Amino acid sequence: MARAELMDFDKALELFEPVIGLEVHVELNTTTKMFSSAPNPANSQFHVADPNTLITPVCLGLPGSLPVVNGEAVKYSISLGLALGCEIAPSSRFARKNYFYPDLAKNYQISQYDEPIAFDGQVEVELENGRVFTVPIERAHMEEDAGKLTHVGGSTGRIQGAEYSLVDYNRAGVPLVEIVTRPIFGGEADTPALAKAYVATIRDIVLSLGISEARMERGNLRCDANVSLRPRGQEKLGTRTETKNVNSMRSVERAVRYEIQRQAAILAGGGTIIQETRHWHEDTGATSAGRPKSDADDYRYFPEPDLLPVVPSKELVDELRAALPEPPAVRRRRLKSEWGFTDLEFQDVANSGLLIELEATVKAGATPAAARKWWTGEIARLANAAAVDASGLVSPEHVAELAQLVDSGTLTDRLARQVLEGVIAGEGSPQQVVDARGLAVVSDDGALIAAIDEALASQPDVLAKIRDGKVQAAGAVIGAVMKAMQGKADAARVRELVLERAAQTA
Amino acid sequence: MSEITAEQVAHLANLARIALTDEEIEHLTTELGQIMHAVEQVSEVATPDVPPTSHPIPMQNVFRDDVVGTTVLTADEALAGAPESDDSRFKVSAILGEEQ
C-alpha cells in the first residue's frame, strides 16, 4: 500500500478548518440479544463461545421466525439517551435497512431510521489540556449487530484476495445503540484529542450506567470518524471521508489526525476529496480507501412490519432519569477530592482515560497513590509498547492485589513488575504468579545473612573499607547478595544487614 | 406519481445481487409499475386527516423479558440448512471488494 502524502499538521491547520462527526456503536450487555432470546456474546458471561452456538432461528432469519424486542435493551437505550442529554421520543419505531451481504442472514438489518429513540442531546467532554467542549448529539438509535466474517484464501488473507468467507452469526442480533454527533466545529488543533476524549467520555458514561462491557478491543465500543476540511473563510463544508471501526481510543486520535493531514495535502495540491469509506490500519498508522459511496448505500429503509412501536411511558422515563449516575464531569471533581491528588496527578490519570480503572482498583483495596502509580506507570508503559489500551491489559482487582503484595513486603517494586508481566501473559492472579514463578522476596534473614557473610568473606577489602566508615563500599556486597538471591530480596533490608554483619564480624 | 423505469429495475436487481436479462427487466418494469399503480389507488383514499401508519394493528410496547429462551440452536442445528459449512461456520463465496 502506497503511503499517502501528508501535510504537516500545523500547516494543515493554518490553511483549513477541520470538522468532524463521530458515530459510536455501543454493544449493550443485556443477557440476551436485541430481538431474539439467544445469549448475548457482548455480555461477559457468554463472551467465550464456539461459533454459531449463540443463535436462535431469529438470528438466522429462518422462515417463520419473528423478532420480539428485548424490553431491557429498550430501558438501557433510554438511560443512555438521557445520560447524553437527549430527548426521549414519545414514540419510536424500527426500520429495515436493506443490503445484501452475508454478515446478516436475512438481507436486512433492523435499525431505526426516521424515529430514533433519543435525539438532540449534548455531552460535556474534557480534553487533556483541560479545555471543556460541548459535543452536540444528533441522535441515538437502537439496532442489531451483524455476524462476523472470516475471509479465507487468496494471497494476502485480506478480503480482496479471499476465495471464500466463513460466517459466525453469534454476534448477529447483539443489541447496539448507535450514537451520532452533529458536525463538531471549533476543535481546531485539538480536534484529534477531542475525538479521543469524546470516545473516552462515552465509555465512561456507558460503564457508569453498567449497560456495556465497553471493551474496545472486543468491539463492544466502536467508532467511525467522519473528517472533512474547509478552506479558511469558506462557509460550505468540505467533502468528508468516514474512517470505519477505529478500535482503540489511541487510534481514534491518530486516525483523525492522519485524515486531516492527508486531506490537507490533497486539497492544497489542487485535488479533490472523494467521499468514501476508509479503513484504519493500526500497524502502519494510516487509512486506506475502502469502497466509494455508491449505489450500495441505497438501503431502501422502510418501517419494520414485524415490530410494534416503542412508546415509553413518562413514568418509565422519569424513573430511569432519577436512577442516572452522576455525569462524568461531576464524578471527576468528586474523585479528585476523594483521592487527594494534585491537579497534575489527577490530570495524568484522567488523560490516560483510566479513571474507571483507578476507581475500581481503589475499591478493590489499593491506596489511590499506589493505584495511580501502577496504572500511569508500568501498565501504561506496557500498553504503549504493545499498542493497546491499558484498560484491556489487566483487571483492577489484579492491580490492587499486586499493590497489596508490595505493601505487605512480599514483593519489591522490581519483582512486582515481573509479576505484572506474568499476570498480563495470562499466568493467573498476582499471588498465583508469585507462587508459580517463586518471585516472593526472601524475607528470611537467615538466608540473607548467609549470603552476606559469604560475600563479605570473599571481598575482605570491602569489609575493611566498611569498617573504616566508608559505608558506600557496602554497595558491592549488596550487589553480590542481590545477585545470589536472584533479585528476590529487599535491597534496603540487605543494606541494613550488611552493615550489621560487617560490624559484628570485627 | 412517477413511473417505474427500466433503469430503476436494473438498479434494484443490482442491489439484490440478481442477474436479469433485458427481457426480464422489461417484464418486471411492467409488473412493478402495475403494483405501484395499485398502491397509488390506496393513497387516493387517504385524506389529510388520516395519519400515516406503519402497522395495521393498534398495539405498542410488546416486549420480551431478558431471559435466555428455549430455542437456542446447536451449531449442527444452525448449519443443517447450509449448502456449505466449514469449521462450524457457514461457508459463502467471497464477495469481492465489499465490506459493510
Residues of A in contact with B71 (CB under 8 A): 37, 56-58
- A106 and A28 in one domain? yes
CB-based contact (8 Å) between B72 and chain A? Answer: yes
What percent of chain A lies above the pLDDT cut of 90?
61
Q: Can you state the angle between helices A430-437 and A396-407, rounded to 10 degrees?
A: 60
- A268 and A208 in one domain? yes
Asked, for residue B7, whether it belongs to a domain, the answer is: yes
Q: Sign (positive/negative) of CA torsion B27, B31, B34, B39?
A: negative
Last residue of a domain, one of A437, A470, A488: A437
Q: Name the closest residue on chain B to residue A102, using Cα atoms.
A: B92
- A473 and A422 in one domain? no
Amino acid at A456: L
Q: Shortest CB distance from B14 goes to which of A151, A291, A295?
A: A295
Last residue of a domain, one of A244, A271, A295: A295
pLDDT tens digits for range B10-60:
988 888 888 999 999 999 999 999 999 998 888 888 778 877 777 778 899
Residues whose CB falls within 8 Å of the CB of residue A305, separated by 6 or more in sequence, listed in order: B54, B55
CA atoms of A396 and A211, how far apart (whole Å): 19
Last residue of a domain, one of A295, A321, A337: A295
CB-based contact (8 Å) between B16 and chain A? Answer: yes
Asked, for residue A416, whether it belongs to a domain, the answer is: yes
Range(s) of the domain holding residue A461 = 445-504
Looking up cell 439517551 gives A81
How many Å lie between the alpha carbon of A319 and the closest alpha carbon of chain B?
Answer: 17
CB within 8 Å: A167 and B90: yes
Please, which residues 160-199 of chain A have a Cβ atom closer than 8 Å to chain B?
160, 162-169
Please, which residues 49-78 of chain A have a Cβ atom closer than 8 Å to chain B?
50-58, 60, 62, 68-74
- A382 and A363 in one domain? yes
What integer pLDDT is reported at residue A75 of this predicted model? 98
Q: Shortest CB distance from B54 goes to which of A50, A154, A303?
A: A303
- A457 and A433 in one domain? no
User: What SS3 state is found at B89?
Assistant: strand
> How would you list the strands of the sheet with A148-152, edge to edge?
A148-152, A164-168, B89-93, B85-86
- Is the pLDDT reported for residue B100 higher than 50? no
Residues of chain A with pLDDT under 70: 1-2, 154-162, 291-297, 505-506
pLDDT tens digits for range A135-190:
999 999 999 999 999 888 765 545 555 688 999 999 999 999 999 999 999 999 99
Q: Name the closest residue on chain A to residue B54, using Cα atoms.
A: A303
The pTM of the whole model exceeds 0.90 = no
Amino acid at A435: D
- Is the pLDDT reported for residue B72 higher than 50? yes
Please, which residues 25-54 of chain A have a Cβ atom closer than 8 Å to chain B?
30-32, 36-39, 50-54
Query: How many domains does the structure of chain A reveal?
Result: 3
